[in-house]
Amino acid sequence: MNIVLTGSLGNIGKPLAQDLVQKGHMVTVISSNAERQKDIEALGAKAAIGSIKDADFLSVAFKGADIVYVMETLDAAGGFFDQDVDFIATINQIGHNYKQAILQSGVKRVVHLSSVGAHMDKDNGILIFHHNVENILKQLPDDVSIKFMRPVGFYTNMFSFVRTIKTQGAIIQNYGGANKEPWVSPLDIADVIAEEMEQPFEGRQIRYIASDEFSPDEAAYFLGQAIGKPDLKWLVIPDEQLLGSWLSAGMNPQIAKGFVEMQAGMGRGMLYEDYYRNKPVLGKVKLTDFVKEFAAVYNQ
């Protein structure tokens, strides 16, 4: 098949492109960075250099594709510390660009990287952008089949813990405790997406993706063991205190407030209600695998 991927060669995009090429598909990878072209071509894929903020570029890039894989990230909207960006509005526009490009190119099969929490229209914090884009894509004609992939929190998000572990000797968040929650490896996300691309498409489908389930206390224990800090603790502070620390560090207020609200929803379990109603088979990469990667980053 002819498959077009957005997301460049990120944590999901690179293993996904490699897998699809190895299976014999013709793969085009969209990247805004011209320097990525040689890396994309080295994988055996074709590079399309341009911006997902450009609907006309996307329309040309999607033309002739059997399947397109579309994703939006906060990084695509601007840096977390850019004070002048309306992230939600920017990502909504990217969603409209995808919709326009799918219509103009005639693509009939779409895989969309969404998120846990996308079923909620409030109380999901920054994840509201996934809810919004899902609904934008649902406006496409019925003959466009869409698979909404809803991964849970990425293991790689834990790299943000490194700073407070080094400066304050602890993981510090606005939720914690002994209740288990699901996490996912980008490698398992790539595996599921590649699998879904080779399965029949029909209507609008949703699939959750997770690798392991463990509590914040368990995460602190295993991360601590991996980095030589066996007494590492996951400490819980009030929402307002965490928000204040992020704002004082210069984070965009919309992003900071969105993450605090999202994590509060994680702590209360609200984000995971639909996940547990539609719980997937867990993937291959477990917390005990990821902690080795975390330790390598921590010790750099």
The model's pTM: 0.96
Q: Which residues 6+ apart lie within 8 Å of 288 measured at CB?
A: 222
What b/e readout covers 132-155, taking b as 16+ CB neighbours within 10 angstroms?
A: bbbebbeebeeebbbbbbbbbbbb
Q: CA nearest 13: which of 69, 64, 51?
A: 69
Please, what are the domains in the chain?
A: 2-154+184-210 (3.40.50.720)
Contact predicate 68/193, CB 8 Å: no
Q: CA 6, CA 65: separation in Å to the nearest integer?
A: 13
Nearest to 183 by CA among 258, 68, 293, 77: 293
pLDDT by residue, tens only, the chain of 300 residues: 999 999 999 999 999 999 999 999 999 999 999 999 999 999 999 999 999 999 999 999 999 999 999 999 877 666 788 888 899 999 999 999 999 999 999 999 999 999 999 999 999 999 999 999 999 999 999 999 999 999 999 999 999 999 999 999 999 999 999 999 999 999 999 999 999 999 999 999 999 999 999 999 999 999 999 999 999 999 999 999 999 999 999 999 999 999 999 999 999 989 999 999 999 999 999 999 999 999 999 999
Q: Are 131 and 167 in contact (CB under 8 A)?
A: no
